[in-house]
Amino acid sequence: MSSLIPLALGLASISLSTSYILSSNSNTQSRLAEHPTPEDIDPLSSNPNQGPGYISVPPAYNDDGNRGSTSNLPDFNWDSFRYLIPLPADTGFGWKSSNRMPSDSEMAQEALTEESLLRFPTFKMEDAVTLGMNLRKRFRASSRHAKGKGCVISIQSMQGACMFACAVGEGSDVSLDAWWVMEGMIKVVRRTGHSSFYIEKGSNAIGKPPEQLGLPFPEYRINGGAFPIWLQSSTVGPIGVIGVYSGSSVEDHQMIIATLRSFFNRMTERAGSPSTAGGRDP
C-alpha cells in the first residue's frame, strides 16, 4: 500500500529560472543568479592550519538554504573539494565494463560528472511533480519494492519549500525516522551544493569524517539519495533538491540518476534533437 501526498504549492506554471527562485528572499537570489559578482562566488583558497579546501568566507548556503555561514560549523570550500579527491586511475569509467568494484574516488568523480550533465533548461512545479511520480513508479517496479521494501521521496527548493512528497510502502521504511534521515541528506546538498552521494564517496576517498567537513551526524546524513537541481544557465548554485531514501545509498542515488536521464531523454525526443543530458536511460 502506498500513500501519495503530492504537495505542489499550486500546480501553476511557476518557472524556477535564474531570475525566479522559490524563496522568501527571491529578490536577493535573483540578483545573485542574474549578476553574480566575484564576492558572491566562493574563491579557491586554503588555510595553512587546516589544509587546502578550508576558507574564511561563508559556504554557498546555510541550513536554511540562504547564502551565509552556519554557526559553530567549520567553513569548508566545496568548490575545491574535488581537488582533494585522488584522481581515478581510469577517468573514463572503464571499471563499468569490468567485474571489479569501483573505488570511492571513481564513484565520486562519476557523481560529479552527473551533476554537470543532468541540468535543467528551466524548472517548473509541474516538473517536480512529474519527477516525483516517475521516481515513485520506478521504485514500485523495482526488485526492492517486490521484496517488501518502502521508500520516501521529497523534492524541495533550496529554501525548504516542498514541491513534492510521497511515501511508497508502509512500516519502518516510511516512518518518521526515514523522513528524518532523508532531511539530513537534503541538508547535505543545501550546505555543499553537491549530491550526498558525491560527498559520501569523496569524504571516504580523502579519509575525512563528516564532522571535519562541517557535516556533523546526526544532523547531516552522508548517504546517497539527495541530488541537486541545477539550471543550465546558473553559475551560483542549485535551486532545489531531489531526495529519495530507502536505506540503500547506491541504489537510491542510481534511481534518481536513471529517472533524470529518462526525463531528459523524453524532453529531448519531444524537442526532436539528440540527447545531451547524461546518455540513455539504463
* 127 three-state secondary structure: helix
Residue with cell 513534492: 164
pLDDT digits 0-9 by tens, 28-66:
333 333 333 333 333 333 333 333 332 222 344 455 545
pLDDT band for position 75 (cuts 50, 70, 90): low
Q: What is the pLDDT of residue 276?
A: 47
- C-alpha neighbours within 13 Å on the C-beta side of residue 235: 10
The rounded distance, in Å, linking the Cα atoms of 16 and 122 is: 6
Side-chain half-sphere exposure of 93, counting CA atoms within 13 A: 9
pLDDT of residue 197 exceeding 70, the answer is yes
Range 272-280 average pLDDT: 52
Q: At 130, which helix (H) or strand (E)?
A: helix 125-140
Q: pLDDT at residue 171 above 70?
A: yes
Q: Of 186, 160, 139, which Cα lies nearest the Cα of 65?
A: 160
Residue type, 129: V
Q: Secondary structure of the chain: what % helix, strand, coil (to 5)? A: 40, 15, 50
Tell me what pLDDT residue 158 has: 93
Can you tell me the mean pLDDT for 156-163?
Answer: 94
> pLDDT for 228-262, tens place per residue?
999 999 888 899 999 999 999 999 999 999 999 99
Backbone angles phi, psi at 244, to 5 degrees: -135, 130
Rounded-to-integer distance, Cα 265 and Cα 118, Å? 11
Over residues 185-213, the mean pLDDT reads: 92
C-alpha cell at 83: 581537488
Query: How confident is residue 26, by pLDDT bands cut at 50, 70 and 90?
Result: very low
Indicate the range of 70-74, 165-169, 185-189, 271-275 predicted with least confidence: 70-74
Question: What is the distance between the alpha carbons of residues 105 and 253, in angstroms, rounded to a whole number?
Answer: 16
pLDDT-derived band at 80, boundaries 50, 70, 90? low
Question: From the DSSP assignment, how many helices (H) and strands (E) are in the chain?
Answer: 8, 7
- pLDDT mean across residues, the chain: 74
Q: What is the pTM of this model?
A: 0.70
